[in-house]
Structure 1
Amino acid sequence: MNSKKKNVRETVLELLETIEKNQSYSNLLLHHAIEKNYLPTKDIGLLTELTYGTLQRKMTLDFFLKPFLKKANKIESWVKNLLRLTLYQMVYLDKIPDRAAIFEAVEIAKKRGHKGIASMVNGVLRSIQREGLPSLTSIEDAAERLAIETSHPQWLIKRWIEQFGYERTKAMGEINLTAPLQTARVNTTRITREECSKRLLEEGFQLELSPIIPEAIRALKGNLASSAAFKEGLLTIQDESSMLVAYALGAAKDEMVLDACAAPGGKSTHIAEKMKNRGQVISLDLHEHKVKLINDNARRLELHNIQTRTMDSRQAAENFPPESFDRVLLDAPCSGLGVMRRKPDMKYTKKEQDIFQLSNIQRDLLESVSSLVKKGGVLVYSTCTVDREENENTVADFLKHHLDFEGDTNFKDRMPEAVRPLIIGFDLQVLPQDFGSDGFYIACLRKKV
């Protein structure tokens, strides 16, 4: 066991450093740090809050720090992260007194650096305490101000304002600064939502029933992945937006369904459950270790109608007979701009050109899997992003070059009632602020008979 335990703030500082240096995903590192440092349960909440909070608001914190760092020569990245972390507590956390946050920062600076660094850290933080923060209203350009206010890169805020307007962009930027709720899908082939909720309540979880998805629940307290119900295969951790895909696909009991980019299997298993463990879902993924995750999930949920294959879906047309599937789902690799609440560090590493590069891959995938859809069959294209280039433009381009497909406007009737008002025509863009779920896009197409 690790006898030299680090305190919470030292652990947070290490995490922030690793994320910045290695561009590692914060959610994976955080989980590892909790296990490695044997943190008491009472500290896990603070560790999560400080890590995510400092990452979420990095650009805002840097704006606040800038005037106070003018005199400081080039400072090391760990010192900058220590200042961000401490300022986050001073500005955004009511329960931690400033003096306690500053004291901790100075102690860490002494331990990791030298007296001069500790003195500089103390000086900067005391100056902020004395003089107050610079005002965001000093930024004249509205897009730039919103970018700093919500800590999103300016290129992204500008794209969103162009696509969704200022107000919806502002709402999206603001909700991206908050932690998402954990949601789960009840395995209705084995238990009802009511029975499953009752069991979870008995286990000590606090829940509410999803107002969006009839088989979903929201965790208000506790990690549902650690529940007995999860281990027994009675539920799957999945975001509510992602659950909409199986509704859009509308697979029936004895059909042949292809899930072209399936790992880790959330959508495949949902489709299989909706098919009442009948018919067949063929789930593909490029990586063998990810295909294993699909198999593990199917086994845990006791679903026998899923068959997996390791394959690049761009080669799917060469591996299956033409028109061999009633329904095909392409949940395409994307920029993931709809899940930034879960991976706040993503905001600072994405580049605008990524969107256009991904759009080419998405078009190639659609090209490949479309030939596998039977006449009269359904092709659903989905992403967990909120950008027209990867979403509406990709679908429009596909329809322009494939006159044998058309938008399936009937898909609205298959969707849960709560989301129907957002559907115009044959597609749906969910923004994070619509239901508090991930940003997600779904387009439903039908092959003409």
Structure 2
Amino acid sequence: MKTTTTTKTRNVREVTLDILLQIEKNQAYSNLLLNSAIKHHQVSSIDVGLLTEIVYGTIQRKLTLDYYLSPYLKNPGKIEDWVVILLRMTLYQMHYLTRVPDRAAIFEAVEVAKKRGHKGIASMVNGVLRSVQRAGIRPIDCKDDMEQLSIETSFPLWLVKRWVGQYGLEETRQLCEATLQHPISSARVNRSIHSVDEVLKKLADEDIIAQRGELSVDSVTIDKGNFIHTTAYQEGFLTIQDESSMLVTRALGIKENEVILDSCAAPGGKTTHIAELLQNTGKVVAVDLHEHKVKLINEQVARLNLSNVETLVMDSRKLLDHFKKETFDRILVDAPCSGLGVIRRKPDLKYQKNEKDIKALASIQSTILESVVPLLKKGGTLVYSTCTMDKEENDEVVERFLESHPSFERDRELIERLPNKIRGNAIYKDGQIQILPHHFGTDGFFIACLRKRV
């Protein structure tokens, strides 16, 4: 007889601890681990929200939580990693989640400690958490402003110092504080076949409370419900995308019948936006190095019923071997980057990156730009974008490119293709904008528009 096995449903705190431990030890991505764990451990729909909140919240506030715990841990270096994480995630519930009573959070932590360790560890966990409960949360008091900001917003000190040098203390404070807020759930309407109002009505018919986005003309934002489970999504009415990301494609200034290159295209959000703006004319060539990522692009193209997308598995730095010079009217280089602009959605990134990573990425970004330049027609437009906020990956890459390519100039008409709200709110200069998370409540994004002289 054939037997079947089922995955045992586990306590939500145990699953949370496993996820956080994997992120800490293996630098695994929180969003991927979370989705996998929910399926694997059969987490109930009731508990999914709590699991998600504790996982992301504990990561977001890691340095702050460690500061609060430090007076109660005499020899932290001798405490096993899982115990520290258990204390951290429990304190997060006690301090930041009003709907979880302290006694319930502490009880659950002690029970997990008993299962995973022994009575001694359970007693220590109980003692530390009870001590914090009795004494209350101590105020953060650092002599140095940047160290204070680092602990308050749980950003590594090296990154705070770096951004203070680039943006100043107050702008950096607002930037860091904004990343601690929940991200806005937004989607791009396929306006080549449906208006925003039509999509809003269709969503309302499915009990989704949504409204027009505040930044992009192509966007809707959700107040209640989930886009993914709607027929509007399944039938290609919309695509999940952050509003600041939607501005990248608008920056290209697309006209019908053009041939456009998206040189770093996966997972396909900007590729499909380009195709929609072409109104089923012309062609967009979407390139990515990895076959499994190109598959994701093709899936989106099929869902949206687009007929003007050609995908290609290739290193963008070798495209000149595949295409003739001056093949494309417009080129988008949405370059691989540190991703620091999406920390709200992927909080683990801020602990995994370092200054060497940023320098290495800046070199790759410059190389990609150099490689695709010959493919652009005279008079054509090149848009360089990243979902990060570091000037070494953004401003400095563009400056170096312009210095070595006198045939290019900044496209000062960029501002005319973007929403009026950009003026006076984002950081704009000479054909480029830097959007920081606190400007519009979106992801951080950099967009530079360059034109090849005729």
CA distance, structure 1, for counterparts of residue 296 and residue 44 of structure 2: 29
Partners of 2:7 and 2:41 within 8 A in 1: no
The answer on whether the counterparts of 2:244 and 2:443 sit within 8 Å (CA) in structure 1 is yes
Distance 1:276 1:76 in 2: 58
Structure 1 partner of 2:379:
376
> Are 2:75 and 1:42 aligned?
no
Q: Provide Cα deviations, 1:174-208, integer angstroms capped at 9, x if missing partner.
A: 11112201110011122111111111111111212
Residue 437 of structure 2 is matched in structure 1 by: 432
> Alpha-carbon deviation of 1:72?
6.3
Report if aligned partners of 2:262, 2:284 keep a CA contact under 8 Å in 1.
yes
Q: Distance in 2 between matches of 1:68 and 1:134?
A: 12
2:78 pairs, out of 74, 97, 111, with: 74
Partner Cα separation in structure 1 for residue 218 and residue 336 of structure 2: 26
Deviations 1:295-317 (A, max 9, x none): 11111101111101111001112
CA offset at residue 41 of structure 1? 1.8
CA positional deviation for 1:2: 4.1
Query: Residue 147 of structure 1 aligns with which residue?
Result: 150
Residue 441 of structure 1 is aligned with which of 435, 443, 446?
A: 446
Which one is further off, 181-190 or 333-342? 181-190
Q: Which amino acid aligns with 1:42?
A: I
Determine the C-alpha separation between the residues in 2 that align with 1:267 and 1:193: 18
Is the Cα contact below 8 Å between 2:290 and 2:314 reproduced in 1? yes
Alignment of 1:346-425 (within 5 A): 346-421=349-424, 422=426, 423-425=428-430
Indicate which of 138, 146, 155 corresponds to 1:134: 138
- The match for 2:182 among 175, 179, 183 is 179
Corresponding residue SS for 1:329 = strand
Q: Deviations over 1:366-404 (max 9, x none)?
A: 001111111111000000000110000000000000000
Report the more deviating stretch, 188-197 or 114-123. Answer: 188-197
TM-score, length of structure 1 as denominator length: 0.98
Gaps of 5+ in 2: none
| Structure 2 residue matching 1:136: 3-state secondary structure | coil
Query: 5 Å matches for 1:20-419?
Result: 20-70=24-74, 74-137=78-141, 139-419=142-422
State the TM-score, normalizing by the size of structure 2. Answer: 0.97
- Equivalent pair of 1:185/1:238 in contact (CA under 8 Å): yes
Give the secondary structure class of the aligned counterpart of 2:284: strand
SS state at 2:70 partner: helix
**Is the partner of 2:256 in helix, strand or coil?**
coil
**Pair 191,121 (structure 1): closer, same or farther in 2 beyond 3 Å:** same
CA distance in 2, matches of 1:319, 1:218: 40
SS at structure 1 position matched to 2:138: coil
Quickly say closer, same or farther: Cα 1:90–1:403, change in 2 above 3 A. same
Q: Secondary structure at the residue paired with 2:9?
A: coil
Residue deviations 1:311-364 (CA, integer Å, cap 9, x gap): 100111222111111100000000101001111111111111111000000010
Q: Distance in 1 between matches of 2:43 and 2:201?
A: 30
Q: Distance in 2 between matches of 1:118 and 1:61?
A: 20
Deviations 1:61-108 (A, max 9, x none): 011111100156711111111000111111111111111111111111
CA deviations on 1:393-448 (whole Å, 9 max, x unpaired) are 00000000000000000111111222243333200000011111110000000001
Shift of 1:40: 2.2
CA contact (8 A) 2:7 2:40 kept: no
Q: Do the aligned residues in 1 keep the contact of 2:264 with 2:287 (CA within 8 Å)?
A: yes
SS in 1 for 2:100: coil
Q: CA RMSD in A?
A: 1.2
Q: Give 1:136 shift.
A: 0.8
Which residue of the other structure, out of 1, 4, 7, is the alignment partner of 2:8? Answer: 4
Moved over 4 A (4+): none
CA distance in 1, matches of 2:128, 2:104: 15
For 1:386 and 1:246, the matched residues in 2 are separated by 19
Contact 2:378 2:453 in 1 (8 A): yes
Cα distance in structure 1, aligned partners of 2:213 and 2:289: 33
**8 Å CA contact retained: 1:408, 1:426:** yes
| CA distance in structure 2 between the aligned counterparts of 1:448 and 1:38, rounded to whole angstroms | 58
- Give the fraction of aligned pairs with identical amino acids, expressed as a percent: 55
Distance 1:369 1:72 in 2: 51
Contact 2:218 2:246 (8 Å CA) reproduced: no
Equivalent pairs, count: 448
User: Is 1:410–1:426's contact at 8 Å kept on the other side of the alignment?
Assistant: yes
Q: Which amino acid aligns with 1:385?
A: T
**8 Å contact 1:2–1:38 — kept in the other structure?**
no
CA distance in 1 between partners of 2:376 and 2:7 (Å): 59
